[in-house]
Every structure is written in structure tokens, then in C-alpha cells.
């Protein structure tokens, strides 16, 4: 088999477009054109490039143990960041997942070997397998400062009730919900009150904590609310559950930065000039919004968001003698605490959206360890 055929067959097995493969192996700005020419036999990749393609992993790295003691379901799964934190305990087997975004489904499949089911609002709660733990990062647009501030009046806000109807039907021993920190203060606290009342009415002992990603070792100032519930009918001493104490290690942005980053991540003169102009205008108006520069010695970055692919303004990395650059998708993964063997099988644009929407795996893992340890001691067998 010739090189052109090998590349094309490999790409087809990976279910990747030419653009996705180009970004995944780190080609430059017009990498998809290069892949197209390779596949047509018009030119040949270097030895390094062909190795990068042929060695790109085809097996999902995060398969659950079949004899894990606890069953879990993963709702609004995204790319499986919450699942991954639980998987790392070695004690959880996922039996159902739901995610409607086709690119996130692709990333999820590449890493866990399972295709999530689609829109949770169209899935009957009776059809969901029995499970011990439910996890959900229910969409937070309705509760975010950046959203419309409509909460439960916003149709996306009601997606919380899909979590509630599944809890009511399946009665798992425990759940973990994750959301933006503004959930607590939204609509003068009324939104959070409705959520807590709903969970209490389902007979769960509920506690919550606000954690920053950097307090668990990821160099990012991402603050989120984590809500844990324990089923009072199944779990003894449910009121005694405690969240982990953040270890608060020293973090440094340099620890997640790649060497030899392609010039396609350096922002254009036009974009850089626009960032600087907007910052000046905002400063004159007394607003604090604008780009933020970081370097290897910065302790942590701002929070990466799903819109990062647009202009990268919230996290720009300084470069000597040239315009700053965006973080790469792999650096974005590291900012969220994803391990190095986590596969990124989508274009850079989609990868930024996915990691911006995801969770800090290090924080989830710490909470998961506490939940599992508590269930080990207190779950009525």
C-alpha cells in the first residue's frame, strides 16, 4: 500500500475530515490542503509527519473496568470531563451518556469508545439504565452573567428539570452537578432556591461548594459551583458528607505551555490592533474588559470560555518580538486538567469550544474520590 492510500485509510478509520487530521497532528494554517495533496499523491509527508498520522491512536484510552462497583450516568456530557474524573477513581462504570453536539460526541467516542445518545429532553427517564451516581453539567447559559439572566424563564434553564425527572425516576444513591458560580446569585437567589428546593423535595441531602481550578493544580482561575446530593433512603449519615479540602499547590502557566508552537496561533496585526484599541476605549469608559496577557511565569490564566476560538482575548500568551498568541488546543486541555493521552480528534475551532465548555478534571476527580469513599462506608448494601 502506498503512502497516499495509508493516510486516507487511516483518516477514514478515525472518522476525521482533512481539516481535523491536519489540526490533530499540528500542521500549519492551510494543513487541510497539505493532507489533500498527500492523499492525492501530489507530494509526500516527512518521516515525522507520516509517523504522527500512522501512530495517531485508534483505541479509546479511557475504558471503564467491567467489574467496577458503581454504575454512573453522564448527562450533558460534553467531552466527558466529569466522567473522566470519576473514571480515574477506578471504581465507576458508565452505563449511559447523553450529549447532543455532534463534534463533542466525536471527541467523547474517541476517548471512551462510546457514542453518547442525543437530546436528553427526548429520552424517557424510564429507558435510562439503573445507576448509583448521576453526573450533569447542565447548561449554564441561563444562569451566567454573560447570558440573558432569565434563568428558569429561559428554555435552556429548564434543562435542570431533565436532571430532576431522572433523579425522581431512578433514585441514584448520589449525584454531582456542576455550574457557573453565578447560579447561586442569579435572579436574587431565586433560581438557586428553586433548584435546592427541587432536590430536597426528592429526598436528597444536598451540599455545595465553590472551587477554583487553580486550587486543585490547574493554572486557571476558573471558579465553579459543585452540588452533591446523597439519597437519604439509601445512604446512611448523608448529612456528614464533606467536600475535599483544596490542596492549593503553586501553579505556573509555563507548566502547561508547549514548545515550538506553530505560527498559526499568533494573532494577526489587525486582531492585535483591535484588542489594544478596545482595551483603551474600555479603560477610558471605566470598564475593565479587554485582552489579558500571560507568560510562563504567570501563576494562572483567566477562565477559558467556549468563545475562545473567536479572538482568544481572555488568554493571550506573550511572545518576544512578535504579537501574542492563543493557547493551543493541547494547552487548553491542560488548563482543564485533561491528561496527555486525551485524544483531540476535531478541528482547533471545535476543540476550543469543547474545552471551554468542559470542566476542570482535577477538581472533579477530588470530589469523586470523596463521594466514592463516602458511599463505600455508608451505602446501604
Span 239-257, pLDDT tens digits: 999 999 999 999 999 999 9
Distance between CA atoms of 208 and 188, rounded to whole angstroms?
Answer: 18
β-pairing, 133-136 vs 70-75, is parallel
Please give the pLDDT value at position 290. 81
Among residues 240, 188, 169, 244, the alpha carbon closest in space to that of 212 is found at 244
Q: Mean pLDDT for the chain?
A: 92
pLDDT at 235 over 90: yes
Residue 275 neighbours by CB under 8 Å, 6+ apart: 267, 290, 291, 311, 313, 316
Q: Is 43 a catalytic residue?
A: no
- Give Cα separations from 117 to 77, 108, 124, 251, 355 (angstroms): 10, 11, 12, 37, 20
pLDDT at 183: 86
| Closest-CA residue to 125 (of 167, 95, 94, 83) | 167
Per DSSP, the three-state class of 56 is coil
Average pLDDT over residues 59-63: 97
Indicate which residue of 73, 140, 183, 364 is catalytic. Answer: 140
Is 19 within 8 Å of 106 (Cβ atoms)? no
The tens digit of pLDDT for each residue in 46-58 reads: 999 999 999 999 9
Do 222 and 194 meet the contact criterion of CB atoms below 8 Å apart? no
Res. 151: pLDDT tops 70: no
Q: Where are the alpha helices (DSSP H) in 77-189?
A: 81-87, 102-112, 160-170
Four-residue CA torsion sign, 66, 97, 79, 235: negative
Kindly report, residue by residue over 64-114, the tens digit of the pLDDT.
999 999 999 999 999 999 999 999 999 999 999 999 999 999 999 999 999
pLDDT per position as a tens digit, 180-232: 998 888 777 777 887 888 899 899 999 999 999 999 999 999 999 999 999 99
Using a 10 angstrom Cβ sphere, with 0-12 exposed, 13-18 middle and 19 or more buried, the burial of residue 124 is exposed
How many angstroms separate the CA atoms of 77 and 108, rounded? 8
The grid cell for 22 is: 491536519
What are the respective helix, strand and coil percentages of the chain, to the nearest 5? 45, 15, 40
How much is the pTM? 0.92
| Domains of the chain (ranges, CATH numbers) | 3-54 (1.10.260.40), 70-249+359-378 (3.40.50.150), 253-352 (3.90.120.10)
Helices 348-357 and 102-112 pack at an angle, to 10 degrees, of 80
Amino acid at each position: 500500500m502506498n503512502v497516499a492510500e495509508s493516510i486516507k485509510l487511516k483518516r477514514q478509520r478515525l472518522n476525521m475530515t482533512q481539516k481535523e487530521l491536519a489540526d490533530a497532528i499540528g500542521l500549519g494554517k492551510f494543513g487541510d490542503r497539505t493532507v489533500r495533496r498527500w492523499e492525492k499523491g501530489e507530494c509526500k509527508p516527512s518521516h515525522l509527519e507520516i509517523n504522527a498520522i500512522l501512530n495517531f491512536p485508534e483505541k479509546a484510552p479511557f475504558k471503564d473496568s467491567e467489574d467496577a462497583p458503581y454504575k454512573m450516568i453522564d448527562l450533558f456530557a460534553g467531552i466527558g470531563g466529569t466522567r473522566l474524573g470519576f473514571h480515574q477513581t477506578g471504581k465507576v462504570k458508565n452505563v449511559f451518556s447523553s450529549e447532543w453536539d455532534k463534534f463533542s460526541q466525536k471527541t467523547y467516542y474517541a476517548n471512551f469508545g462510546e457514542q453518547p445518545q442525543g437530546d436528553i429532553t427526548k429520552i424517557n427517564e424510564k429507558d435510562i439504565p439503573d445507576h448509583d451516581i448521576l453526573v450533569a453539567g447542565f447548561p449554564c447559559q441561563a444562569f451566567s452573567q454573560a447570558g440573558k439572566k432569565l434563568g428558569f424563564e429561559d428554555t435552556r434553564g429548564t434543562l435542570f428539570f431533565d436532571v430532576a425527572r431522572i433523579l425522581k425516576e431512578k433514585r441514584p444513591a448520589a449525584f454531582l452537578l456542576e455550574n457557573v458560580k453565578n447560579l447561586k446569585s442569579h435572579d436574587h437567589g431565586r433560581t438557586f432556591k428553586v433548584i435546592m428546593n427541587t432536590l430536597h423535595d426528592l429526598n436528597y441531602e444536598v451540599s455545595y461548594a465553590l472551587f477554583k481550578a487553580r486550587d486543585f493544580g490547574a493554572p486557571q482561575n476558573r471558579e465553579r459551583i459543585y452540588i452533591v446530593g446523597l439519597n437519604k433512603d439509601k445512604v446512611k449519615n448523608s448529612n456528614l458528607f464533606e467536600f475535599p479540602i483544596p490542596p492549593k499547590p503553586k501553579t505556573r502557566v509555563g507548566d502547561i505551555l508547549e514548545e515550538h508552537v506553530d505560527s498559526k496561533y499568533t494573532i494577526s496585526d489587525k486582531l492585535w490592533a483591535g484588542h489594544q484599541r478596545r482595551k483603551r476605549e474600555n479603560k477610558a469608559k471605566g470598564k475593565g474588559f479587554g485582552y489579558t496577557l500571560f507568560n510562563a511565569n504567570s501563576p494562572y490564566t483567566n477562565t477559558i470560555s467556549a468563545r475562545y476560538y473567536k479572538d482568544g482575548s481572555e488568554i493571550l500568551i506573550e511572545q518576544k518580538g512578535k504579537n501574542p498568541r492563543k493557547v493551543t488546543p493541547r494547552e487548553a486541555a491542560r488548563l482543564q486538567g485533561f491528561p496527555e493521552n486525551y485524544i483531540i480528534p476535531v478541528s482547533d475551532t471545535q476543540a476550543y469550544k469543547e474545552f471551554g465548555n468542559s470542566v476542570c478534571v482535577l477538581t472533579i476527580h477530588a470530589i469523586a474520590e470523596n463521594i466514592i469513599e463516602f458511599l463505600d462506608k455508608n451505602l446501604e448494601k
